[in-house]
Chain A
């Protein structure tokens, strides 16, 4: 197991380097003039030239990339062109908020999606199944901004149960302010997880080992939760992992609607100011998070399915091959 994890971690390093290189390159070729932004439109050509020199903008591409990476490894993402604040510090302050929202959204999606998917599969073609499939299709298709506004109108404006926007301070206000963005963010993913779970469980449900388990006299509940779910989990974990990654960066819309102080909103604001350093820092941070989530998914695979783990346990396998030949 340790061998598998180490291998996965080592594989994540080139992925990170490649991803940062790609992001850096794209932003390098995006037209922007940070010196003029910092000094204002009345600055002289000489002042701008001096500023460019100071910011290192006149350096060749690879030198700039190298300098950026050197800073990045030390946790320094440069300074915002907009207000000269440290990008790393700003992101660090906002990342927690984004993580809270993304985790809550995904947790909501998992708690709703998996049981609904199982129920739907076990009662295939029943009324419950049809209703579930209709609702999930609806939730996947409905646009976030519309859905969020409807929720705000009902629960904040009409019923006054929950705040319409902002992030509450203290546990109870925080949880209260979290509910609407969580539902907005999680519903679509819940629907997607429900559909994946359904099809994955349906594939497992007809397998011989399910009948074997029933023939042992095991209760239907154990058959579903122990024998079916663990086998059906790989596609579900994949969907959860991939979507958690996109949830981190993709909650921009939700963060904007609910004025949630997360990284997503920071990116959007920075883009409109052409604040290259801030955009670069945010995207790189999200890339790193995405890679970490993928790493976690890979490790969870191995925990679920011994066949995946054993591909890496070379020594053990050899030992078994020998004992098998001996029998």
Chain B
């Protein structure tokens, strides 16, 4: 399968009055055609920043992409002109935002909002045709077309997210970035929306970057997984690698924090401690303060991401030594 999106050595900082926030550090990520890649990490790990970097939506100032490249279709997105990036947004790469309650414009009808993305990328189509296509998209996500004239406040949360998905898929993009598409929804609606996303993905063969902090969703939806912690990818591989052959202590902690249905556990097993302050990153391994295996070396030296066989990569001295991986 061909690589459709490659991110190399991406570094994003936010320069604020209180200091510089290092939101992303040396991030490498590859997305393949037709594959769903799950990007997992706790709140503040930099998942959304990564997604917005791909769309080039980092607000600047204060944000700045300091280093690295994002290669889409042989072109570095970070070096494209504003016109070129506008023709990619929505048409080739589109994005679903976290909160459907706030990601639709409250004063424009949903039909017009879907039609807008179609019109922008198909300037030769006349208004009526565009609107008909918008209605088709609505039908596809299970909303009847006569509701195209309604405003977002007349829809429930789950239906709004369907509208957002219809909007994102309206131009049949090659890459869909879904930033926690189900976090704001209740569990039954979550399942519906995920099921629909999976069907649509198969129908259109869209490569998906699914951002979530729910490992259950990852197991259900993804072929590949990348684990993110404090602005770095600490482990990545296939779903099998991550779930059955867990290497990084942080991934281990994440999986350990899921309650198991066959054990009578009274309390969840959390990972002790907090993420490091993004304004003041430790010079050694970013996870060493919370890691139960940490050694002197971890505190002083920053581990590089290393392949340990197949597609499985990890950023940890301990596991690299065990596996004898090479840098």
- Are B95's CB and A215's CB within 8 A? yes
- Are A209's CB and B159's CB within 8 A? no
Which of B90, B102, B108, B153 lies in contact with A215, CB distance below 8 A? Answer: B90
- Are B107's CB and A304's CB within 8 A? yes
- Are A212's CB and B120's CB within 8 A? no
In the bound assembly, the distance between CA atoms of A214 and B59 in angstroms comes to 11
- Beyond A320-B154, A327-B144, 10 additional pairs, beta carbon < 8 A: A211-B52, A211-B97, A215-B94, A217-B89, A217-B90, A217-B117, A218-B120, A219-B86, A310-B154, A323-B147
- Are B103's CB and A212's CB within 8 A? yes
B104, CB-defined interface residue at 8 Å: yes
A259, CB-defined interface residue at 8 Å: no
B100 to chain A, nearest CB (A): 9
In the bound assembly, the distance between CA atoms of A209 and B113 in angstroms comes to 10
Interface centre among B95, B98, B154, B167 (most CB of A within 10 A): B154
- Are B102's CB and A307's CB within 8 A? no
B171 to chain A, nearest CB (A): 8
In the bound assembly, the distance between CA atoms of A217 and B89 in angstroms comes to 5
* A212 partner residues in chain B, CB cutoff 8 A: 95, 97, 103-105, 164, 167
Enumerate chain B interface residues (CB-CB to A < 8 A): 52, 55, 57, 82, 86-91, 94-95, 97-99, 102-108, 116-117, 120-121, 142-144, 147, 150-151, 153-156, 159, 164, 167
In the bound assembly, the distance between CA atoms of A310 and B150 in angstroms comes to 11
- Are A327's CB and B142's CB within 8 A? yes
* A227 partner residues in chain B, CB cutoff 8 A: 105, 108
Which of B87, B88, B153, B155 lies in contact with A306, CB distance below 8 A? Answer: B153
In the bound assembly, the distance between CA atoms of A310 and B107 in angstroms comes to 12
Interface size on A, residues (CB 8 A): 27
In the bound assembly, the distance between CA atoms of A142 and B87 in angstroms comes to 48
A212 to chain B, nearest CB (A): 5
A158, CB-defined interface residue at 8 Å: no
In the bound assembly, the distance between CA atoms of A203 and B232 in angstroms comes to 32
- Are B159's CB and A327's CB within 8 A? yes
- Are B57's CB and A215's CB within 8 A? yes
Known contacts A215-B90, A216-B116, A217-B120, A209 near B106 by CB under 8 Å:
yes
Enumerate chain A interface residues (CB-CB to B < 8 A): 207-209, 211-220, 226-227, 230-231, 304-307, 310, 317, 320, 323-324, 327
- Are A209's CB and B89's CB within 8 A? no
* B144 partner residues in chain A, CB cutoff 8 A: 323, 327
Which of B88, B151, B167 lies in contact with A310, CB distance below 8 A? Answer: B151
- Are B99's CB and A305's CB within 8 A? no
Known contacts A217-B91, A217-B120, A209 near B104 by CB under 8 Å:
yes
Complex: chain B residue closest to A307, CB-CB: B153
Interface centre among A213, A231, A323 (most CB of B within 10 A): A213
Closest 4 CB pairs of A and B: A217-B90, A217-B89, A216-B90, A216-B117
- Are B116's CB and A209's CB within 8 A? no
